[in-house]
Amino acid sequence: MTTPFASTPGLLSGRCVSEGDFTYLSVDVNADPADPRVDDITGDILIMGRPLKDWGLHLIDVNLAMGDLVALAGEQSKAYAARP
């Protein structure tokens, strides 16, 4: 069975950032005008045409990491099952 998910290898980079009282996932788009893929990822919540900066990409954040999270869960379950 195939999945309806798309893969965009190398399009995004992420890193955990701690600034003051906040810790968050910082996501960068590796834009390349020669690449046919998008050069910007939208996901902002807009009020009267202005983004709510404290929301960031919350509308799509789970989807950004889904492939890595599924792979991690698979590896963890294999390690758990292999325990003596």
Distance (Å, whole) CA 60 – CA 43: 6
Q: How far is CA 42 from the centre of its chain?
A: 12
Give pTM, 2 decimals.
0.57
Find the radius of gyration of the CA atoms of the chain: 17
Contacts of 43 (CB under 8 A, 6+ apart): 56, 57, 58, 59, 60, 61
pLDDT score, position 71? 86
> So where are the chain's domains?
12-81
**pLDDT tens across 39-83, in order?**
887 777 888 988 887 777 777 777 777 778 888 899 999 999 999
